[in-house]
Structure 1
Amino acid sequence: MRIYSADGKLISQFGEKRRIPVRYDDVPSQLVNAILATEDARFFEHKGVDPIGVIRAAVVLITTGRKAQGASTITMQVARNFFLTREKTYIRKVKEIFLALKIEQLLTKEQILELYLNRSFLGNRAYGVGAAAQVYYGKEVGELDLAQMAMIAGLPQAPSAANPIRNPERAMKRRNVVLSRMLEVGAISQEEFELARLEPVSARYHGAEIELSAPYVAEMARDFMVQRYGEEEAYTGGYKVYTTITSEAQTMARQAVKENLYAYDRRHGYRGPIASLWQMPEPNAQPGAETDPARAVAPAEDPTWTREQMLERLASVTPVEDLEPAVVTGVEEKQAWVFTRDGQHRLIPWEGLNWAREFISDTRQGPAINSAGEVLSRGDLIWVRQVEESLMLAQVPEVSSALVAMRPDNGAIQALVGGYDFRNNQYNRVTQAKRQLGSNIKPFIYSAALEHGYTLATLVNNAPINQWDRSQGTAWRPKNSPDVYTGPTRVRKGLGQSVNVMAVRTLRHVGIDGAIDQLVKFGFNRDDLPRNESLALGSAVATPMEVVRGFATFANGGFKVDPYVIERVDSALDQVLYQAQPRLACDECLKALAQPSQPEENSLAAVCPIPQEQLAPIILSPQVAFLIKDTLRSVVWGGGDWSQGTGWNGTAWRAAQLIKRRDIGGKTGTTNESRDTWFSGFGPGIVATAWVGFDDHSRELGRTAWDNYGPRGQITGAESGAKTAGPAWNQFMYHYLQGVPSESRTPPEGVVTARIDLATGKLSRRNDYSSMFEYFIAGTEPTEYAESQQSEQPVFEQETEELF
């Protein structure tokens, strides 16, 4: 079974048998000649049974008493391979003969030979010449040279004993026998024979030529196939499974997750080497070497550990993703020398070391380092990774992450990264990790409020809440972060800045039952939603897959699409056995729904170009979906006029700085004590969710202090959705949206604009910084004008975070 991306890149393969079917016309004539010369020189002359071969076998049996000559033609071997066993009995031979005669009546010689070429076991789980060419030589069958073809042609009789990997000497003898037979029948010249006979054995094991790293997707596909076909059939049926993953998006997502985890790990400090192999006094550094890498010279071999010992130790450490083990062999003032697995001495410059202040705890780091010797010693076994042209000191991240991106119009998953390293941990955090949502939940709460009388200009009191809980005997005091309160504030700004107390008051307006019903419509599990006011602040749990599905509804105009990752399943003969039938969003339906007559869903058939059974359910009006989507743009871009003192940042302002597109939007999310951080949002044709946290729910993501050697615009303070998960989303979207046309902000029918006063949310007659145009569902726009014009004061001038 082979798993592919949507664009045909091999992701993984599973099973007991490896087959790469080839057509007869695609097999080189010399390989056919080698097979025939060795197995059945009279193949094109006999009718399935070769009388001469039978007589020869009989003579051997009579004279020796041994069944050494089987007299099996290629047709008889096809009969045995498909229908019989390999036991040497007379009754099996009789059956073999009759089956061969029948096969010759039904198939042409070329068809029979094609079956033989694809069915024969050739060792190392390779069945057929296509698989053997890949397993032994890493080539397509048409790329083999004469010696390699002869090697493969010699395998059917003894695929294990004459295996060129396990027994190269015997394999070479068998290969040369094949070459001799080819020379005898005139298939090759004497010169070709001599050249091929002198070729060394070049075979070595080649695993699957994986072209795209998506191991969590491969495991999802494997599970789908086992559930559908059963384990044995799934592994041995030769199925080709095509996923919805695109190779470019998957590569971008994987890189974004890794880079973000490395950045988090660096700012929290260095946890030390893997091991200390030896300790020796430092030799005198060469003059100028610490300041001029071009003059640096690799240290001499250490007398304590030989080159061979270091290579052996390094070979025992399995690389992790793009991290490689290395041994420190020299430490100078501002650089260090390491010995790597390929037997080279490599230099780690100061830029690759200076981040490594001491990790004390998740919330504390040591002071910035001033020399390499504060971090490394000779004999340290460490991790390094290649960054552009040089090495960097590294460590395996302990923190976890996930990222999933999908098309909002049909739910096709474009990229999925379930964790940092699948080989060490197969836990798929996209589909299996239920984590608290934090403020990622707020757009769903506000969508319910817009259906219950709120507008984006509605004022909600941004004031402290102090509610006595008689059952607990304590007061519940949800706080904003930062702990600032500005009085009545518009809904757009409250969601854009993720104001906690406003979200609680909005929940009270909707009612807990109403909010839970709304969340269930988006696909969240009712059992995961607490029946208390902490729901407004994200105490509910959900997987990243559930979250990205919910945000897709805002992006597509109100449809609930279901994520899917299996596009189709083909048989070994390229017959389509399964084709996904996703439920689709429909722009024409949205236009019809937006008309004043408001047609019922079941009457959309007249305008919908999509068959009704393929139409995704509509769970949100296009008007409400547009209003939330537009407000999520404010989370990125903020609002107001900074020059006039009315400007404000949304919590995701970093996305605006990097991506620089006005057609993106999203929502940050941070839970209590920064145990879970989120960023979910959309761009043209894509919606994505990123999550960062520890698998250990009790461990906090912590905080970091300023680092003298940190990057420009370094992240400090408490970890949060904007600072911890946001950068992965930002990087993915930045690369994904390159070359994607901008998406216009066109409101649906039924949405109007009105100029409002920033301070009161009422209509404004002024055309200056104290007012703005706001979107409203027709009929909900304000009818009163503001009596006095007063400026809206900025509250969060630098940065905001959200906690509950």
Structure 2
Amino acid sequence: MADQYQSREERRKQLAAKKPKKGKGKKSPRGTFKKIFLVLIALGIIGMLTGVATFAFMVKDTPKLDEAQLRDPISSKLYDINGKEFAEVGSVNRDYVAYEDIPELVESAILATEDVRFYDHNGIDVIRLGGAVIANITDGFGSEGASTITQQVVKNSFLEFDKTLSRKAQEAWLAFQLERKYTKQEIFEMYVNKIYMSEKSHGILTASKIYFDKELSELQLHEAALLAGMPQSPENYNPFKHPDNAEKRRNIVLSLMNQHGFITKDEMQAAQAIPVESSLVKAENRETGEDQYDAFVDAVIEEVQAQGDFDIFSDGLHIYTTLDQDAQTHVEHMLNSNEVVQFPDDEFQAGITLLDTKTGEVRALGGGRNQQAKRGFNYAVDTQRQPGSTIKPILDYGPAIEYLQWGTYHTLDDKPYTYSDPKKTPINNWDNKHMGPMSMREALAKSRNVPALQALQAVGLNKAKDFAVKLGIPLEEIHESYAIGGLDKGVSPLEMAGAYSAFGNNGFYTKPHTVKMIELRDGTKLDTAPESQVVMKDYTAFMITDMLKSVLSNGTGQAANIPNLHVAGKTGTTNYSSDVKKANGIPNGAVPDAWFAGYTTNYTAAVWTGYENQKKNYINSKDQKIAQQLFKNLMTHVSKGKETADFTVPKTVEKVAIEKGTIPAKLASEFTPEDQVIYEYAVKGNRPNQVSDRYDRLDSPSNANASYEQASNEIVLSWDYNGKADGVQFQVNASINGGAAQQLTVTGEKSMRVANVVAGGTYTFTITAIKGEQSSEPASVSVSVPAPVTEEEEFEEGEDEQGRNREEEHEEDDDGDQSDEGEGDNPGNGNGNGNGNGNPGDPGTQPPGQPIPNPPGTPPSP
């Protein structure tokens, strides 16, 4: 056995030796593949189990299907600034349509747009989902949806509208259950009756009646396509308010219908060629609404829709707004009566926006006068009209201060001027006149167009555009004509109020908004208020504000001024072209638009006035003040009983004294006359460097001398001048016995003679050096003219002389000595010196104020 065992061991060793040896470190490929396969299977199982567990976790709180919620939307409630409910927005306006009454044309349009494989899937379109997944990976989660009609039904009925994986999982789970419980036809019926279609309405049939006044069976292809495209963004595709957007969307739907074989190419092109507005219900025939604060509620609806995938009419939201009911009531009273303002006619329209200056919260909206259409055109939000001169602080002077550090004194020349286009097109002021050099303050207050264009050109178009865009003015391009409000697209009162509020809020801009917070059905609260942004330096905001005060105090906006209220603002009017005026018989002085935008530290308001049809109707010169009157009344009402602080001067600003008319602006000198000095503001560190020398003092004349020549009865006046004599002349004034001074002459000589002087008078002369507007301190000199001697005085003098002779003789006899010198000079010699200190002589009886008897150069009387 041992031998046998040994032989088996040997044979085994021999067999093993014959097998090829494996290389070191190498493994069997078959074994490696097997291990990888097993690992993948394990990972797949783990992943599947993890996915199932995750999905189960996500859908554990999914609400149960509720048929009432599937078919009946839940209304939302609106609250004012004090938390008081003021409106309930729900689906009261809905006409229900059964599936069998939905025309094939309408169904095809909806399927092509929303879910072309609706009848082939079980609630989730795997193909569409795959495309959406790829898009979400490349563009970010939430960039593209893959919701089927079934998913949209459950989403609109049960789920919140956040784009999260959890919510999408719940949506898919509910869609699967819905497909198991209801037929495709029932689900489609739910969808077409539940969808929001703008105009406070739900359902395709309701929309058909609102927009076309037709039953579904009466709709044409282009009309059905328009309705099918609206649910994606009902407010943006509302054909009453945004016909251009609605037409683009409709044409996309028609293209999809052709792509999926529902219509031919010819049918598509024929329908796309039809204008959207051609078959819409006319404005005067639209359904009237009786809702309170309709204009404000309209703005809330649009803002909520823009916040996310919300349906304000069916989601049961609690919406906390910025509404001040008192202000809103007053705005509507102003617009819909003649008690505050006398409107020219019922067609005259106005749009008003009232904001909180500091927060950008909309306190009230005036959507128009005598509004008849339910959710009609909102002139406060939707209108796009040229702003006229109200744009000047935004595009011209604001950027000039922000980027060039201009002071409010900066001098501009209101002169004949042109745009910089190749044709050198002239720019005119509203009065077709020019006022010459003026400060930026004066140019803005008087709304001069030429200086405004000069400011825009100095800043540059791109910087001006950037400045305006930061203030919420949606400029896509800019031209020099924008300097005076000739915008191609136009702006709304809401946008203008938002821009002006930044000037009143130290350079902080907050986008105007009507909604502060949205509370969902599950109690989740969403803060929707936009954040404030710094859009300009505080010195820019203050200096624009201070200049806009001048508009109301002594400029074009005096009709809007409110006594005892610190308010700033700007007027604006637009013009008709000569061709339009001629074609429509519009008189000179008439305008299509009149604006006023202004603010206090508490409130900002923008008011537009005009007509819907600008060529048919125009604003005459008298009614151009209505915008200012509405502003004044509204601002007075909301400011009553509230402290309104003045605008504070920031530390970046300093006050400077500027001499009027200096180009470039110069500081006033100590000699500048007070009536030629203006006190303005400069950016600290950027005040003018030069001091004006226009009114500098010249050197004064010296050595003034006046003497009386008895022989010719003249006064000889002379003086010296040691200063620069180029162009210097001398103004000589004189007065007698302290009376009023009279100008004798202006001469280039340094001497003169005054003839036929009055005996016994004391003459005072002043000599002033002058050159243009410069002058010197005057030099003065006085001289007295001897009075005539009477007979009595001659007799007395003779006796006195005899007496003196006797005394002298007596002294001579006593002392034997004679005096060499008398006791005094002749008191009437009339000689004077440069200080007027000569012996004055006898002033005589000449009364004060005696006029100079002869002009200079008159020869003495014989």
Normalised by the length of structure 2, the TM-score is 0.44
Specify the structure having the higher radius of gyration (Cα). Answer: 2
Structure number with the bigger relative contact order (C-alpha 8 A, sep ≥ 6) is 1
Normalised by the length of structure 1, the TM-score is 0.47
